[in-house]
Amino acid sequence: MDCNCSNLQLIPPPSSNAYELLLQALFQIPIHHYAIATAIAFTCFLYNFLEIHFIQDLFTGFSGSSVDFTYNSCSEIYDAVVSKCRILHGKYSVTPWLSSPHLQTVFLNFFGNPPIFKYKRQLFNTPDGGTIALDWVMNSVVSENAGHMDDVVNKGESTPIVVIIPGLTSDSNSPYLKHLAYHTAKRGWKVVVSNHRGLGGVSITSDCFYNAGWTEDARTVVNYVHKENPRRPLFVIGTSIGANVLIKYLGEDGENVPIAGAVAVCSPWDLLIGDRFITRKRVQKFYDKALAIGLQGYAKLHQPHFSRLANWEGIEKSLSIRDFDNHATRIVGKYETVDTYYRRCSSSTYVQSVSIPLLCISALDDPVCTREAIPWDECRANKNIVLATIKHGGHLAFFEGITASSLWWVRATNEFLEVLLSSNYMHVQKKISAPNKLLDSSIDQGPYVNVTEDGMVAASNNEPTTTDNVEEINVRQDIHHDSHDKVIEENKQDELLTKTESGDSSCIAKTASARNPVPLDVITPIKRYVGQLSRENRWSTWLLVYIAITTSWPLVGSALYLVFGKKLRDFLPGGLARR
pLDDT at 564: 57
Q: What angle do CA 82, 83, 85 make, to 5 degrees?
A: 65
The strand ranges marked E within 139-296 are 161-165, 190-194, 234-239, 261-265
- Say which amino acid occupies 573: P
Residue 347 CA to residue 541 CA, distance in Å, equals: 45
Q: What angle do CA 354, 356, 358 make, to 5 degrees?
A: 85
Residue 79 CA to residue 478 CA, distance in Å, equals: 42
Residues 284/367, Cβ–Cβ less than 8 Å? yes
Ranges in the chain, pLDDT < 50: 1, 145-155, 434, 437-537, 539-541, 568, 571-579
Residues 383/74, Cβ–Cβ less than 8 Å? yes
* DSSP string over 473-513: EEEEE----GGGHHHHHHHHHHHHHHHHHH---S-----SS
Tell me which H or E stretch contains 315.
Answer: helix 312-316
Residue 508 CA to residue 336 CA, distance in Å, equals: 19
pLDDT tens column, 396-419: 999 999 999 999 999 999 999 999
Residues 171/199, Cβ–Cβ less than 8 Å? yes
pLDDT at 563: 54
pLDDT at 277: 95
pLDDT tens column, 314-348: 999 999 989 988 898 888 878 889 999 999 899 99
What pTM, to 2 d.p., does this model score?
0.74
pLDDT at 556: 55
- A 10 A CB-CB count for 70 gives 18
pLDDT at 547: 56
pLDDT at 446: 39
Closest CA to 367 of 292, 281, 295, 284: 284
Query: CA–CA distance from 544 to each of 529, 532, 533, 556 (Å)?
Result: 15, 15, 12, 17
- Say which amino acid occupies 578: R
pLDDT at 542: 53
Residue 301 CA to residue 297 CA, distance in Å, equals: 7
pLDDT at 293: 86
Residues 6+ apart with CB under 8 A from 28: none
Q: What percent of the chain has pLDDT over 90?
A: 52
Residue 303 CA to residue 288 CA, distance in Å, equals: 22
C-alpha Rg value of the chain to the nearest Å: 33
Residues 396/265, Cβ–Cβ less than 8 Å? yes
